[in-house]
Amino acid sequence: MQDDNYLTHERGLISWIFTLDHKRIGVMYLLGVLLSFLLGGVFALLIRTELFFPGRTIMDADTYNQMFTLHGAIMVFLVIIPGIPAALGNFVLPMQLGAKDVAFPRLNLASFHLWVLGASFLVLSMVLSAADTGWTFYTPYSTTTQTAVIPATFGAFILGFSSIFTGLNFIVTVHKLRPANMGFFRMPLFLWALYSTAIIQVLATPVLGITLLLLIAERLFHIGIFDPALGGDPVLFQHFFWFYSHPAVYIMIVPAFGVVSEIIPAFCRKRIFGYKFIALSSVAIAILGFLVWGHHMFTSGQSLLAGTLFSALTFLIAIPTAIKVFNWLTTMYKSKIHLETPMLYTLAFLWVFTIGGLTGIFLGTMNIDVHLHDTYFVVAHFHYVMMGGAITAFLAGLHYWWPKMFGRKYSERPAKLAAVIVFVGMNVTFFPQFILGARGMPRRYYDYLPEFTRLHQLSSLGAFLLGIGFTIIAVYLASTLFRPFTAAANPWGSATLEWTTVSPPPYYNFLETPVVTGGPYDGYENMRFDAALDGYVSVQDSEVAETSLTVAGAADAMVPTGDASKIGFGSPNTLNGEVAEATTKAEGSPGNSTAAGKESDEFSTWVSAADRARPSDVATPQADPPKNENGMANEAGEPSPETSGDSKDEVS
């Protein structure tokens, strides 16, 4: 671990609030999302406590309406939409590109400040008189209720700008800051997912902003846009709202697909199957997502033709999603799967999201949806996709990148226990709701018939179990923050660029500019676990490091130590003091003018063989090896990287 990293580069609260470092901005997003998740989770537990018995339990009907409105608005706008793209994506995206930062660092900071401002308005609405409309703000009720609809909708409006700025930044970053030799089909699949999500954010979110402004104008000036009493059309609001909000479902779930696509090859130790199909299916989902909003309105009076078209398009969008699932399963087929915590959450995702997707087929069929619309079946389906899909993948990504983000490794035992509890709690909470909905239990109801009591109580017990699981997660992750930086550069044996730098990363991400010469998932066969580092290294370069140590012992008496800061990123040299010192000494020997410390262990899968130091480079101090045209040492009989074409342009 380097003494200077992004966490210690500057100190003080102001250095965080006004930072331009994408990693710090990602961490601040993460903190905000987790606090919002805590608040939304408390509201969820209050809702399930109230529904434990028929009639009043702990709150009245008006308070109940406010509770589920706040729960939905906070979870959708403050947690799930920004969770993976803004928190994990901000941290990881530039590093997976080998870049120092995003294309527009100041715009990135502005997007976070807007997120804080929008969240503040939502909290303000809770203090004044929380909206009781549901998170969809359906008219005409939202134009007439006396609760604080304007602060809540204005907060969502501001959050929309934050989402647009983040999406725009990611699109430009992917186009302009890729390394010279990283084409689109050499990008990690997480970047494909973020790129596709960014397209939706930029194109769909303005529609929500306009809709919410029209709603505010309707309440303030009574101009008759949505209120039928004033000549307005409430169904028009539904069209506007769902034209954004169904693509927003994919803003929430497509990044989750990207996380899963990173974790499965890492813990199966093999290249992902069907890379191009998975990549292009993300783009297909982003495009088709704009065409299916009408399936939310089968009971709203639209024509039979429109309903039929929306139903067919709904079935069509299942195809690219199924492509992903089958390619993930094929990747795992006959693999030796390593069941660390991120992979456990990924397996849970596959199970729960598949249930959510399959139940969506029922709701996409018009004659079935007429019966199930606005019942608990819809609640269960939505939570299996959003909670079981997006949140489970967020937890998988959080555990996957936690050692890289904070330089500390959590304990696997409580982490695996919490993963099992969360998985069981999630299914116990939401699966009974499918049965409730099929039997006719309406959603959003404060009271219910006595025959639904057992299923409601089972669902509430599952929610309490979920709360226990999330509490365990919070405890062991928070406890790691009080430990020293001990995480290896590559604790999982992953192959993408972010794992080639130290943990936590330096301020500018890499000590040397990465060079890309292969695909993002090449090189798993060359990884081996190094117990001394508690992480994975490349087989070839670990042999180089061992040879360097041997030579260093002989050269110790006659060679100056040199500057350890010149040692390449991601190698054992940067993580283990003894190895760093020995390799630096070997660098200074007369026969090693190629600077063996320049290369990293994990970097070996991304840099061509001509760029890597060999044991022979270190172990021949008697005579200098042949020089290339730039005066640098080169292997005998081989052309220099500059003339052979193996060396690639650095990131600008």
Domain locations along the chain: 19-480, 497-644
The most confident of 196-200, 302-306, 511-515, 534-538, by mean pLDDT: 196-200
Length of the chain: 652
pTM over cut 0.85: no
Q: What is the mean pLDDT of residues 63-92?
A: 95
Query: What pLDDT score was predicted for residue 580?
Result: 38
Tokens of 56: 């009043």
- Measured CA to CA, the distance from residue 27 to residue 202 in angstroms comes to 23
For residue 565, the model assigns a pLDDT of: 33
Band of residue 279 on the pLDDT scale cut at 50, 70, 90: very high
pLDDT at 129 over 80: yes
H/E run at residue 275: helix 275-288
User: DSSP secondary-structure letter at 172?
Assistant: H
- Owner of token pair 């660092």: 105
> Is residue 597 within 8 Å of 567, Cβ to Cβ?
yes
Quote the pLDDT of residue 4: 81
pLDDT tens, residue by residue, 500-555: 899 999 999 998 888 888 889 987 878 888 888 888 887 765 554 554 444 444 44
Residue 605 has pLDDT above 90, yes or no: no
Question: Is residue 443 scored above 80 in pLDDT?
Answer: yes
pLDDT score, position 543: 53
If you search the block for the tokens 């969240």, which residue do you land on? Answer: 119
Lowest mean pLDDT among 17-31, 483-497, 583-597: 583-597
pLDDT, average across residues 278-293: 94
Mean pLDDT of 134-148: 91
Cα 313–chain centre separation: 27
Residue 178 has pLDDT above 80, yes or no: yes
Q: What local confidence, expressed as pLDDT, does residue 6 receive?
A: 93
CATH number of 19-480: 1.20.210.10
Question: What integer is the mean pLDDT of 456-473?
Answer: 96
Residue carrying the six token digits 């290249």: 271
Average pLDDT, stretch 258-281? Answer: 95
**pLDDT score for 223:** 87
Residue bearing tokens 């993930």: 328
